[in-house]
Structures are given as C-alpha cells and as structure tokens.
Structure 1
Amino acid sequence: MTPFLRIALVLLAVAPAPAEAARSPSQGGYSTEKHVEHGITFPRARSYKRIPTKPNEALVILKYTEKLREDRRSRGYHPDMLVLRIDYIPDVAPKTPGPGESGDPDEPEEPEEPAETDEEGDTGVEEEEEKPPPPPINNFERYLAQRGRGWTAGEASEGKERGDWKATEYELVRPPKSRGNLAGWAYVWEKERERTIAVLGYCPEERLEEQAKIWRNTAAKMKFSEPAPNPQRRKWERFYARRKYVDPAYRIETRLSLPEKWKAEDTENYIVVYDTKDQPLVRKIVRDIELIRAEYEALFPPAGPIEAVSTVRVCEDRDEYFEYGGPRGSAGYWNYRDEELVLYDATKREKGERTDKTDTFIVLYHEAFHQFIHYSAGELAPHSWYNEGTGDFFSGAVVKNGRVRRIGPNRWRVNTIKRAVAEGKHISWEKIIRFEQKDYYANPGLCYAQGWSMIYFLNTSKTVASHPRWSEILTVYFEELKRAWATEQERLGEEGRADEKARGEAQLAARTCAVDVAFEGVDIGELQGEWESFVRGLEALER
C-alpha cells in the first residue's frame, strides 16, 4: 500500500478485516441520542464514539466505534456498531406484454429476420446475455445478500414487539473461508412494508458476550416516531442564503451529516470538515487549499468549467482516519465517487521540539491535485507517472504569506529514487510512461519515487527548459489527453455505449494517444540519461 492511495471505488466495509482485539474501556453508562430525521431515539454507550459515514452511503445512517485508551491506540481491531435504515421499496412488477407479446410461453412467436452472416455463418457480433439488475434492498435479508460481504443471518430469536414494529435478534455467520476471529450480531426492527431499522455489531469472538449486551441495550430500547426534517436544516439554509457559495445544497447535507465533535469551514471550491482542536492548522488548510488550487489551474487549464464542490475531511489522528475507512498503509486519499479528499492531522508534537505540520500538507497538496485533475481532464485520470508524480511534485510546495513561494523536492521520495538510480534498479522510461495504475501499484515505493522525480526533472531542470522538445512534454501530454478523451466520449455517445467496460477502453485509448503524442520524436534514451544525472545531483533529505 502506498502513502497516497487514490481510490476509484469505495464499498461499504460492513465487516472490517479482523485483527487482534484491544481491551474495552469501562462502559461508563449511556447517553440518549435522538435522530428526528430518522425517527429513532436510543441509548448509546459512552464507551462508544460516533464517527462519520461516507457521503454517498444511503443505508448505514450512523456508525460508532469503541473508544480506546491511549495505551491501546493502533493496536488492532476494536468493536463497531452500525445503524441501518432501509425504507421499503416494492419489487419491480413483471413486465406487461405489449402488442404481439402475449407473455404466454406456449404461444409461438413470429420468426425474426435472420441476421446477416459471413460465409462461415458468423454474424461478427458477440452476444452477451445481459444480467438483470438485483432486486431493491427493501429488507435486512437483502441487505446482507447484496451488501453483507459474505456474512449471513444465523440463529435467530424473536424480540419484544412494539406496536407495529417486530424485532428479531440474529447471530451473524462469518463468510466461508474467512480468517480471523471476528463475530457479528444484529438486532432488526421491521415495520412491514414501511421501514427496517437494524443495529449491527462486530467484534472479536472473545468479546462478543460483553459487547452484545451493549448493542442489545441500544437496540432493544430503541423508540420510534415518524421521521421529520432535521431542525438544523433551516438554520443552514438561512446561512447559505446570505452567502454566494457554489452548491449550497451539497454543503448543507455535508454539515448535517457531521457527528457532534466535527466542525466545518467553507471556501470557494471546498467545504473543509475536521475533528482536530488545532485551529492554526485548520486555518492554514482553509487558506492553502485555495492557493494551491490556483497553481493547478494555471498549469492545467480545465477542459470546461468546474462546478463541483469537494469535501476535505481532516480526521483527528491516524486511528480515526482508519476508523473512517482510510486504507492501511496510506496517509490520505481522494475518492471521486464521494467527491471527498480524506487525510488526518499528522502534526508531529514532540515535547521540547518544534511542532512540525509538514506531513499533513504533503498529503493535502498531493491529494488536492488528484481532485483537481479529475475534473480538469474531464473526469479522466492521466497515466500514474503523470498523475501521482505531479501530486508528489506539488507536495513540495512552500506556501507562505498568501502565495506559493516555491516548489522544492519531496522529502518522502528523494532518497528512494537516488538509491534506485545508484543501484540501477529504476524502471526504464519506455516502460513506466505506459504503466497503468495496476502496474504502478505493483511496486509502489519505487514507482511513486520515480514518478515524482520524472515530473520534478521535467519541471525544474535547466537542461529540459532549454530543450525545445523536452520542455513541451508535460503540456502536450495534458492537452492531448483532454482532446483525445473528448473524442472518445463523443464516439461513445454516437455508439450509445455507456457501460463501464466501454468507458474503461475509451479512457485507455485516450491515455495511449496522449503519451504517444507527448513523446513523439523524443529520444527517450537520451532523456532518461539526462534524468539519471539530474537524480544523482539531488541532495539527500531527512524524512
């Protein structure tokens, strides 16, 4: 896993990967939580804290995780509790036969005109049987079947009914061949043909008995009412009505989804949400995110107006980042489906030492570039050497007194690429400029360092600047990428193709065209030799 992971698709992790358990702190009683927008009130154990749910998550409405003692932080998986809301949606009715479609399987159909074939009887068209869409998730069983990641309902016992609501408690069965000792539990309230509310819990097996008592106390004592508008909604509607921010509806929903500790700040193009008490850090993030974006816009003019607002989510620390869903081994990520950039406060605060916020901003500047280039290129990712390399290039930005003063070396990458070049273990430019993401991620430590050094070289080398062809490579690549992608999108539209496979093939074609044109007529061997000399001359930096 790389220090930076740009996620293309995020799935709800109903059951996180098992690991060694951490001991629970004392329960400390319960607090009452009321969520009028969902029509539920329940006691929540004070040993649990609420963490945000993903922006586009429709079914998991609340998520909690056990608080950890300071001496137990980052020492393994700890219990989670999820609350689901599943509104009833009727199944799609059977298709009504049209004229000439009796729907009777015994009635003979009129013969179709034969398709044109070649001499060997081949139509030249591969027929793929289209799979029907899955039925709507309108109950707990379907949730497990479609979103449960292999977990199934095991032994069940009926709970005490409350009016029209029926209750069932389940032990969940782990997926076949799953490793580890994770146990699952659920308590499901169902109001027939209207709504299902479920409480799910996951913890190591040896802690199931103690944790199930906590979860059961929350679920069995849950009270229901008709869902009503969130009383905070009107407040934020008035707030944004007096201000000229882009997409106020998105900003309102983002604010309403925040747990009690989280706060938010608006900028022209972002909404920054955070769970850190370091206000100077927050102010710098709010200021720098727009300043660095101006640098992106100057170097990478967008294919069209960018009207999307993105969330910048700053978690309190690495533990909270992982609890939210950050991939292990990463320090931040950009998720284009959720339009969200996620990182954590990585400030180094050593007693007697100067506070160092550098790592937080290395991640911010890198991931913010991914966010910008996604929209600037027309929602298409460039080749990884260009995309990740440029993100790492901007990680070296020095922002001071309201502007980007300079862009220096990335201290996370310099020593790695110097060592690789010295030992002859770097990748040839002929190969790496055509690497797709899976190729790049196969050797992430080296590829990230080399991608950064290639972009840094092409942007800062005096030899490159004085060369009429080399100095154009980055600009030509980006402009050709936008042009080729626009052509491919037009072709897809004409052919009426919108499936993921067709889109993926078109994106690959656009990237291939961009790299072909950018390096046309370039002696790549000569260019690589100059780059190797440049890398050898870089000063080693302390991480």
Structure 2
Amino acid sequence: MKRLLFGFLLLATLCQAAPPPITLGSPVSLPAVGLRFRAFREMKPMPLPMPAIRAERRGDGAKLLSNHEYWRFRQTAGVWFNDSCVIRVGTVTIAPFEKPELKPESELLAEFTELDRELPEEQMKKWVRQFAASEVLEVKPFSQSLYGCSAQVYELEERDGAHQVAYLLSPRTDPLRKVLLLFSIEKSRFDDRAERVIRQTLGSVQFVAPRRETVSLAEGNRKKGTPEYEASRARVIQSIRNFRDWWYVETDNYIFVSNQTDRRAMTRLRTELENAREVFADYFPLKIPLQSVSVVRIFNKRDQYKEYVGADMQWSGGIWTPARRELVISPLDRGARDSVQQMIMRQVAFHEGFHQYLYFATGEAQAGMWFNEGTAQFFEGIEFRTGKGIVVLPQYIERTLTALFDGDRVHDIAALVKMDRTEFYGEKRNVNYPLAQALVYYLWKGAPVAGKPEYAQIPVRYYDKLVETRDAGAANAAAWEGVDLQQLGRDLSRFWNDSNLIRQSIRYQPPAAPAAPPAGRGAAVGSRR
C-alpha cells in the first residue's frame, strides 16, 4: 500500500511539474511594421532593453555603446516570451555592421542609415547571424505555402541551451520589405509538436500597410532639447512602439513608460516623483545642462520585471541602471494591500529616483557610496504637506537608526566614507546602509539643531566638487577637509541617543538652495500631456 501511495504521489508530482505543451496563442500586431501573426499561448510582450553604455572615451568623455547592441535594438520590432520560448521579430532596414566596435551614439546614428536596396545573399546571412547572435548553419526555402508572402529558413546554432531557427518573410507584392521571425525554444521542449506550432504561427502571418507615425499637437509644441537629449527620448519610445499594452507619458522632467492597467495609481506616482525631484533640486541644484531624458519604466506584473532586469537583480523592487539610463520599478507580488504596494513603490521611486537625478546632475559621475546611498535613503523620508515636499523621519526608520547607536556606540565614520562599492555591498551591507543614512540625516538636519551647523556644509562641498571634477575621490577630499572624523563619530552617536534633538531635527528644514540654472532644454525638461 505504501509503495502504491508513493507511486501515486510521484506520478502526481511529475504531472504537476510537467510544463504545458506549446500551443498557438492569440493574435499580436506590430502596427508600425505592418505585421500580424499569432504567437504561442501565454506569451507576453517584452519591452526592448535599452542599449547600455559600455565605456567612456578618454579626452572628450563621450559615452560609448556597442554597435552590435545598438544595431540590434534598432532592428528589433518586438519580443514575446513565456517560460520556455522567445519570439523576436526583426525588420531588415539597416545593413549589417563590419565588425564589433564601441562608438558614441552620434556616430552610430550617422552610420546606421536606412537600406534602399535588397541585401545580397551573403550580406543577408551576415544580417541574420548578427541579429540572432548565432552562426547560420543552413539556408533553405520554406516548404509550406504561405498566404501572400514567401519565406526562407535559417537554421542556427544552439545558444544558451535553446534550439534556434529563423524565418525570413517577405510579401510577394513588396519583395524589398523583409521581416525575420526568430524562435528560441528550450532544447528539451523542441519536438515535432513545437515545429508544428511554429508552422501554424508562420501560416498566420499577415502583411498590412504600416501605420504612419503622426505628430500630435502636444509633440509639435514640445520644447526640444539637445541632440543627445532627443536621441535618448527617441530610444525610449522605440522600445515600446509596437506594444498595444504599453504606453508612455511625459512630465516636466520625466518620460514614464508602463503597461500598468491602474492609471490612477500611476498618475499619483508621476506627480509625487516630480514633486520629489523638486526636493532633490532644493538640496542639490542643477548646474549643468541635462543630456538625457529621465526614464522611468514601471511594470504591471512582478514576473515581467524579473524577466527584464535579469537573474542578478530579481530580488529587487526597483533599480536605477546607469548603463541603460533608466529607472525600473516592479509592482509587489499579488496579495499585498494596495496601500502597502503604493507606499513601497513610492519609497523605491524616491530612492532610485535620487540615484538617477544625481547621475545626470553631476554629468554622469559615479558618486561615493556613503553619499549616494546615504542620500537616497535620506530622501525615502520625503512627505508632501500643503503641496510642498519635505524630508521627515518616519518612525520605523527612526527606530532602525537609533538602534545602531544603542549604549552610546560610536561607529568608524572614516572607514564608512572611504568604502568602495564592493565593501559597502559586502557582508556588512545591512549596517552600512542605515549608517550612511544616519550620517547624511545628521549632516543635513541633526547637526544644525545640535549646535554643529558647520557639518551641514559637508554634503554641499561634496556635491559641488563632484559636479566640477566628476571625480569621487576629489569630492570626498573636499568634503572632509579639516573635519575631525573621530569627533564626528562621537557627535553622531550623541545625537542619535538624544530623543529631544531628534524631535527638533524632524521639525527643522534646511534653508532652500539657490535657484537652478536652465537645464538641457530649459528649466522644464519635457512637456505635460
């Protein structure tokens, strides 16, 4: 009986664990490309990851992108995925590049011009190889007759444990127009059934007239920025241009892209992040023109966020990625109350939003860990009262910070302010984060009420020097020049053990910073819609 029961449980477990079969799903549409087809069941659209900055050119400081990554971004019309398959749609509009290089975006824009002729056979193979990032093993005609179009099959090398095959499609009425459907299917899932479903997908392909882009009145009236700024904005819009469920909206300083269905909650978050940015600028005013739009990408579902950010960051609730120049925010897993979800998303937006603001405000400098993380934590305490954003000290944060200094404990501030990324995020990260926050809060709001107003100039000196030199080491030296760090450690401990001073600091608001000069496209970077 036990054996029978065990066998039944094992069979039930295996049946439960078996992935669902690959079957045909709902129709999808790429209006800008003029293409319709049916993807696989339960496939979700994936916005295109932004091309990453790979290096900086010495001398002029130009940001360098991979020409392969940038070319692939420009040639990708859409991506759909589920647990075992990915379909990537490519449009053959730019010739393949000669060799992998790192170049500024301005050079890539000039170099990657639209094709005005059909690519020769060998060039087409090269295009497919670069798009799929895999070697082409064989090219052959597609045996099945398709409605209104012809097709070629490109057999590809396996990549990352997935079977890959691509189909180059062209409408018979316009043979110069070519679209590639690249299928990547887990090797263990690729079988006769999967091949049958791929054929059904190809049989569902319809070419229609591409939808022409129109310029809205709001877009026509929008104040334009620097060429770099406009190029960054165009990349964001391109990353979602073919997805019906994705939308974007611009505010004074941001462009938000999202597939959130609850637009009321999104409206509130957009308003609060704009208001939080005013607080960032009160403490750290803009001193140089902005070269990039501030991008905020917000997902509707947690699994979409995890797929987008990759395996290393799936634990996070939001992340600012300087290389891709976007702030990405995740919803919580379903089950949490809406009010809790909104509170956490708001804290993530303010924290990561400051990282984003600081990066652009300092000319894309890499700030020191104590300053960058401590200040981002500090701004998680922004609250809006009578329309004005101020920094307070929520009770749960106060409890965390005061616990660091129980029994008049004195921390090594000299070690904290010298920490690099590896050390700060190391085994003591759970201490380093709140300690940096306790320090920054004290410098801005605790020291003035404790009779040490000179400490409040430390973050100002740091920021000013970072903007001037873009050198975190020089900024650190300027910030701490003449400061007795051992004495600062004792003063810090004394403050966090004095409840009266803490109460006074919560009521205290630092004087407003001087007005900021015009940004990259005037004081308002963007236009309201």
Separation in structure 2 between the aligned mates of residue 217 and residue 522 of structure 1, nearest angstrom? 72
Q: Any conservation in 2 of the 1:469–1:522 contact (CA below 8 Å)? A: no
Q: Any conservation in 2 of the 1:80–1:202 contact (CA below 8 Å)? A: yes
In structure 1, what is the equivalent of residue 475 of structure 2?
514
Residue 290 (structure 1) shift: 1.4
Alpha-carbon spacing, 1:467–1:60, altered in 2? closer, same or farther (3 Å): same
- Aligned counterpart in structure 1 of residue 19 of structure 2, from 10, 14, 23: 23
Does 1:296 find its partner at 2:280?
A: yes
In structure 1, what is the equivalent of residue 181 of structure 2?
199
Separation in structure 2 between the aligned mates of residue 377 and residue 325 of structure 1, nearest angstrom? 25
In structure 2, what is the equivalent of residue 316 of structure 1?
300
- Aligned counterpart in structure 1 of residue 416 of structure 2, from 413, 416, 432: 432
Separation in structure 1 between the aligned mates of residue 125 and residue 358 of structure 2, nearest angstrom? 39
SS in 1 for 2:355: helix
Alpha-carbon spacing, 1:297–1:164, altered in 2? closer, same or farther (3 Å): same
Q: Any conservation in 1 of the 2:256–2:298 contact (CA below 8 Å)? A: yes
Does 1:278 find its partner at 2:301?
A: no
In structure 1, what is the equivalent of residue 142 of structure 2?
159
Alpha-carbon spacing, 1:211–1:325, altered in 2? closer, same or farther (3 Å): farther
Does 1:467 find its partner at 2:463?
A: no
Query: Structure 1 residues 216-225 or 515-524, which shifts more?
Result: 216-225
- Superposed CA RMSD in Å reads 4.3
In structure 2, what is the equivalent of residue 83 of structure 1?
89
In structure 1, what is the equivalent of residue 325 of structure 2?
339
In structure 2, what is the equivalent of residue 43 of structure 1?
38
Query: Which digits, 9 at most, give the CA deviation of each residue in 1:335-363, with x for residues without a partner?
Result: 34543221023387557x96552100011
- Aligned counterpart in structure 2 of residue 218 of structure 1, from 201, 225, 228: 201
Structure 2: stretches of 5+ with no match in the other structure: 1-15, 52-72, 113-121, 503-529
Structure that is richer in helix per residue: 2
Residue 294 (structure 1) shift: 0.8
Letter in 2 for 1:285: L
Alpha-carbon spacing, 1:379–1:186, altered in 2? closer, same or farther (3 Å): same
Query: Which digits, 9 at most, give the CA deviation of each residue in 1:44-93, with x for residues without a partner?
Result: 33532222213442233211123xxxxxxxxxx54332223343526669
Residue 292 (structure 1) shift: 0.8
Residue 397 (structure 1) shift: 1.2
SS in 1 for 2:319: strand
Letter in 2 for 1:520: E
Does 1:183 find its partner at 2:199?
A: no
In structure 2, what is the equivalent of residue 69 of structure 1?
none
SS in 2 for 1:461: helix
**Normalised TM-score (structure 2):** 0.68
SS in 1 for 2:378: helix
Does 1:54 find its partner at 2:49?
A: yes
Q: Where do 1:470-509 residues align within 5 Å?
A: 470-485=455-470
Alpha-carbon spacing, 1:535–1:238, altered in 2? closer, same or farther (3 Å): same
In structure 2, what is the equivalent of residue 124 of structure 1?
none
Letter in 2 for 1:199: L
**Normalised TM-score (structure 1):** 0.67
Structure 1: stretches of 5+ with no match in the other structure: 1-19, 67-76, 94-129, 176-181, 486-509
Separation in structure 2 between the aligned mates of residue 424 and residue 208 of structure 1, nearest angstrom? 64
Q: Where do 1:398-409 residues align within 5 Å?
A: 398-409=383-394
Separation in structure 2 between the aligned mates of residue 183 and residue 272 of structure 1, nearest angstrom? 34
Q: How many residues are paired up?
A: 435
- Aligned counterpart in structure 2 of residue 527 of structure 1, from 479, 488, 494: 488
Residue 472 (structure 1) shift: 1.3
Separation in structure 1 between the aligned mates of residue 326 and residue 441 of structure 2, nearest angstrom? 27
Does 1:379 find its partner at 2:364?
A: yes
Separation in structure 1 between the aligned mates of residue 331 and residue 257 of structure 2, nearest angstrom? 12
Alpha-carbon spacing, 1:237–1:516, altered in 2? closer, same or farther (3 Å): same
SS in 1 for 2:354: helix
Separation in structure 1 between the aligned mates of residue 317 and residue 130 of structure 2, nearest angstrom? 32
Alpha-carbon spacing, 1:157–1:39, altered in 2? closer, same or farther (3 Å): same
Does 1:328 find its partner at 2:307?
A: no
SS in 2 for 1:268: coil
Alpha-carbon spacing, 1:535–1:64, altered in 2? closer, same or farther (3 Å): farther
Q: Any conservation in 1 of the 2:139–2:152 contact (CA below 8 Å)? A: no
Query: Which digits, 9 at most, give the CA deviation of each residue in 1:95-153, with x for residues without a partner?
Result: xxxxxxxxxxxxxxxxxxxxxxxxxxxxxxxxxxx9999999965656656973xx555
In structure 1, what is the equivalent of residue 249 of structure 2?
265
Query: Structure 1 residues 134-143 or 44-53, which shifts more?
Result: 134-143
Q: Where do 1:388-427 residues align within 5 Å?
A: 388-409=373-394, 411=396, 415=400
Q: Where do 1:115-126 residues align within 5 Å?
A: none
Q: Any conservation in 2 of the 1:347–1:357 contact (CA below 8 Å)? A: no
Separation in structure 1 between the aligned mates of residue 353 and residue 339 of structure 2, nearest angstrom? 26
Separation in structure 2 between the aligned mates of residue 386 and residue 413 of structure 1, nearest angstrom? 19
Separation in structure 1 between the aligned mates of residue 245 and residue 102 of structure 2, nearest angstrom? 43
Residue 238 (structure 1) shift: 3.3
Separation in structure 2 between the aligned mates of residue 425 and residue 418 of structure 1, nearest angstrom? 10
Does 1:451 find its partner at 2:412?
A: no
Residue 431 (structure 1) shift: 2.7
Alpha-carbon spacing, 1:138–1:511, altered in 2? closer, same or farther (3 Å): farther
Separation in structure 2 between the aligned mates of residue 280 and residue 190 of structure 1, nearest angstrom? 41
